[in-house]
Amino acid sequence: MLYKKLGKPLLFRMDPEKAHHLTIDGLSAVSRFPGGKQLLKSMYGVAPSSKMAQHLWGLQFANPIGLAAGLDKNAKAVKGFSQLGFGFMEVGTITPKPQPGNELPRLFRLPEDKALINRMGFNNVGTDEMARNLQKTGKRDIPVAINIGKNKITPNEQAEEDYRACIRELYTYGDFFVVNISSPNTPDLRNLQHGNDLKRLLDAVTAEMQLQQKKSGGTGKPVLVKIAPDLTDAELELTVHAIKDSGISGIIATNTTLSRDGLVHTNRGQAGGLSGRPLTERSTEVIKRVYQLTEGKLPIIGAGGIFTAQDAYDKIKAGASLVEVYTGLIYEGPGLLNRLNKGLQELLQRDGYSHISQAIGADQN
């Protein structure tokens, strides 16, 4: 209620990107104060439930709701986000060199559509600065994935070098990694989802992960690939087969869309990736198809338009082991995490499931 009555009206009167920075900086500051983490946890934390906990890729997830990449781009507020009730979170997208991203304005709200359009363009501080931020974070309460991309000036033919550099610089700090080849805001990036480009990139990524594992002397870390919702079925089939063959650990479905179907807000004409409610159905369709193509053997993280427990449950039943929120959090506030977790437990009980894992892919049977 605090967010709906006070926080949201205030933030929604501000420029969207300024509101974004204020949120990240505020969360970062609160978590550094003595007692700040406890305060956040007491206000928004989610009570653990054995029904919701899962062990995937050698990692423990207290619940299946994660934070999608793009909100904490530079890993400044990991401590703060960790107290809000997330089961895991992504930071990034990060690139080897810092880059300013696209020209302002580049983030737009579409309240009537419960959506956002962004054309940020991988604005970030680079791997060196992110490493420092993650080092300062210290011991973490939830698994943190590092979402990696290529610099705008790096041609696709050399893209794998950027992804390798990100892994090399940040391997120590990530619990798992996400290869972002599906943002619509870096020219030609989505071409890396296809054919030889994809095979070459994934071979380089898996080789670098193995190299860093040997150097660290630890167990291997999972690496996932994030795909676009705008692939045709034929493209999706080829992409998923290439990912399967490469030994990648899982798939995130999906990134933002270029579609503008059914939008009513005046910002609908803005260029960039659309997220939020208009993506709910399409991302669930892609999850279902990916689950079929992988025969349920490759864990999927579902993302796109999750505002209610039913939205999350639909993605889980379509085949997602975990789900992520972003735009729903902007519109609904941090109380969303509690509502999603409680609602999911009620839906599991209604359908006679004693554990979340029993619902994964249930719509496929």
Q: Which residues are catalytic?
A: 183
In the numeric block, the tokens 């997602």 are attached to 320
Judge contact between 275 and 118, C-beta under 8 A.
yes
Residues 233-258 as b or e (16 or more Cβ within 10 Å = b): eeebebbbebbbebebbbbbbbbbbe
Find the radius of gyration of the CA atoms of the chain.
Answer: 19
Q: Is 45 helix (H, G, I), strand (E, B) or coil?
A: coil
What is the β-pairing status of strands 273-276 and 115-118? antiparallel
Give the alpha-carbon dihedral of 139, 224, 161, 168, to 10 degrees: 20
Cα(224)–Cα(201) distance, rounded to whole angstroms?
A: 13
Residue 80 per-residue DSSP state: H
Longest CA–CA span in the chain (Å) reads 54
Judge contact between 290 and 231, C-beta under 8 A.
no
Torsions phi, psi of 171, nearest 5?
-55, -45
For residue 122, give every residue at least 6 positions away whose Cβ sits within 8 Å of its Cβ, in sequence order, or none. Answer: 93, 95, 99, 101, 149, 151, 152, 183, 185, 186
DSSP character string of 18-33 = HHHHHHHHHHHHHHHS
Give the alpha-carbon dihedral of 152, 155, 160, 162, to 10 degrees: -40
Q: Is the dihedral of CA 72, 74, 75, 76 positive or negative?
A: negative
In one letter, which amino acid is 269?
Answer: G
Cα(145)–Cα(68) distance, rounded to whole angstroms?
A: 10
Q: Is 78 exposed, middle or buried (0-12, 13-18, 19+ CB in 10 A)?
A: buried
